[in-house]
Amino acid sequence: MANTSGFEPDVTVRVRDYRIGCIGAGMIMADCHLAAYAKAGFTVAAIASRTKAHAQAVADRWNIATVHDSPEQLIEDPQIEIVDLAFPPDRQPALIRHALRQPHVKAVLTQKPLALSLAEAIALREDARAAGKILSVNQNMRYDQSMRVLKQIIERGDLGEIVFAQIDMHAIPHWQPFLAGYDRLTLSNMAVHHLDVLRFLFGDPDEITTLARTDPRTAFAHTDGITVSTLKFPSGVMAVSLEDVWSGPREEGYEDDQHIRWRVDGTQGVARGTIGWPKGVPSTLEYASTVATGGKWVSPTWDTMWFPDAFIGVMEQLQYAVKTGTPPALTVADNVRTMALVEAGYRSIAERRTVRLAEIPTG
């Protein structure tokens, strides 16, 4: 890794102690979770999915010794200490609750959205609390290298007081087939990354205004295809999160310009960069500061990427929490607040108005 200027774009792995059972055999599990775990030296003891043959193929690829017939059977396997879920959100709650009941399971890592409703997410938070076990949600954009370094720059005070921030996405997600059966799309499944990372950077906002239209490329029925959200924070920060999942035609001869760019303006400097996911390259960051760089643009660099390397950080923070008895960096309680922000965005779309987060109770 080169030219990181004292920053930490990737986590240091502190704990590798626990046996992980993975549920799911799709792209996120096969190409992200398991690639990251192999790189970090984490122990994956078993895998299961809805279709055993799919799980077996992934097990063969990553040298996983045990393939269970069903997710429930994996959860009941006494050797499993951490259950790692990459499953559709309508099926996650039952599996989470089954895992929380097992005496040998110490923690559960689940995908976002945690559930299909805020009420269900709150109920799962309370179930984990009652069980005395850790439930963590895979908000992996917080471990994107540019977002980690940006957070460090902000916390050092290099940008001064933050004034404005934006995330500007023009890229085409891979919508999993199960999303066609839900009544929510981009805000819940793509913008959730951006809204969560804005909370990571600036805390909870006071209010959100969201507009949406359908995406011409998405064939199944939906309301929130292209979304634009404006947020105001108690500190005065204003932020814009834009998700253009259309991003132009895709046909032979058309030059693809998919990208995600971001920018943060402060009273003493500016940071800007890109998220490398659409093109499979490292994210980037450059910043100029009147107090830290003499007003010159500085560009820390790294060789790792959001997908799959950020997933090391997600599982590492969970294992560290189990080992030390401290809360994970990604708590279910914090994720409920992200889901409340998403819920406020949907209310803003439906009622065509600005929604204050105080209107969305989280218990």
pLDDT of residue 4: 53
Q: How many CA atoms lie within 13 A of 162 on its CB side?
A: 24
The answer to whether the CB of 276 falls within 8 A of the CB of 259 is no
- The CATH architecture one would assign to domain 19-140+312-329 is 3-Layer(aba) Sandwich (3.40)
The token pair that represents 16 in the structure block: 């590798």
Taking the CA of residue 338 as centre, how many other CA atoms within 13 Å lie in the half-sphere pointing to its CB? 32
* Rg value, the chain, Cα: 20
Average pLDDT for residues 211-231, to the nearest whole number?
A: 97
Q: Is 68 exposed, middle or buried (0-12, 13-18, 19+ CB in 10 A)?
A: buried
From the candidate CATH numbers 3.30.360.10, 3.30.70.3460, 3.40.50.300, 2.40.50.140, the one assigned to the domain spanning 141-306+339-356: 3.30.360.10
Place 77 in a pLDDT band, splitting at 50, 70 and 90.
very high
Domain range list for the chain = 19-140+312-329, 141-306+339-356
Interval 224-254: pLDDT, tens: 999 999 999 999 999 999 999 999 999 999 9
Question: Which CA distances in Å does 65 have to 29, 108, 109, 207?
Answer: 16, 20, 21, 49
Q: φ, ψ for residue 306 (rounded to 5)? A: -55, -60
Q: Specify the pTM.
A: 0.97
- Looking up tokens 């058309």 gives 254
Residues 6+ apart with CB under 8 A from 303: 1, 2, 282
Instruction: Say if residue 47's pLDDT is above 80.
Output: yes
Domains 19-140+312-329 and 141-306+339-356 share a fold: no
Which residue, among 99, 91, 151, 169, has the nearest Cα to 128 in the 3D structure?
99
